[in-house]
């Protein structure tokens, strides 16, 4: 199940990559510089779009790395264009795709600790469900909301992506 949840983060980052394409198209249609969207935010005390995307990417890559007991790749927060944000999103999608279910076999019971937890730990399953997934979707949803707020034509299907539909 943990591998499947990491797969959902990977899928959602693919959707986020699509939203960035839609933002670029929208900006060009409305005749404004597409890279301006990186500085847009919903409220003065919230992250701008660029930081929302960086945070969604970081949450996903750190989650899988911590759960697998590995070091995550470094991505300095230097993106200043939509093209650079695309590259970061795609690099994290590729990274998430490099993990097999076997890499996460011990993840549910792995002790996860973060400096801000002041010496306390969470078990991997709790960390994923209570911290990583909500944090990931918080930043992904804010990215979507910022783009919708400025008028980028995205809908629920753009958020959800393809569903695994089966015949009964």
Q: What is the pLDDT of residues 28-82, one digit of tens each?
A: 999 999 999 999 999 999 999 999 999 999 999 999 999 999 999 999 999 999 9
Q: Is the distance from CB of 23 to CB of 35 less than 8 angstroms? A: no
- Tell me the two tokens of residue 15: 């959707």
Q: Tell me if the pTM is above 0.85.
A: yes
Cα–Cα separations (whole angstroms), residue 21 to 17, 81, 147, 155: 7, 12, 11, 14
Residue that has been written with the tokens 């590729």 in this structure: 94
The pLDDT score that the predictor gives to residue 50 is 98
Domains and CATH numbers, the chain: 2-160 (1.20.120.450)
Determine the Cα–Cα distance for residues 68 and 105; give it in Å rounded to an integer. Answer: 8
Determine the Cα–Cα distance for residues 160 and 93; give it in Å rounded to an integer. Answer: 16
């Amino acid at each position: 199940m943990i591998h499947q949840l990491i797969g959902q983060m990977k899928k959602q980052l693919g959707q986020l990559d699509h939203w960035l394409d839609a933002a670029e198209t929208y900006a060009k249609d409305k005749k404004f510089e597409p890279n301006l969207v990186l500085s847009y935010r919903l409220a003065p005390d919230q992250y701008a779009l660029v930081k929302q995307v960086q945070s969604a990417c970081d949450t996903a890559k750190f989650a899988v790395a911590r759960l697998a007991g590995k070091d995550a790749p470094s991505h300095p927060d230097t993106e200043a264009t939509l093209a650079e944000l695309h590259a970061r999103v795609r690099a994290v999608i590729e990274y998430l795709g490099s993990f097999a279910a076997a890499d996460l076999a011990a993840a549910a019971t792995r002790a996860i600790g973060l400096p801000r937890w002041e010496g306390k730990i969470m078990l991997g399953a709790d960390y994923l469900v209570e911290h990583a997934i909500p944090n990931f979707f918080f930043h992904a949803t804010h990215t979507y909301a910022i783009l919708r707020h400025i008028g980028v034509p995205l809908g629920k299907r753009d958020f959800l992506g393809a569903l695994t539909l089966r015949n009964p």
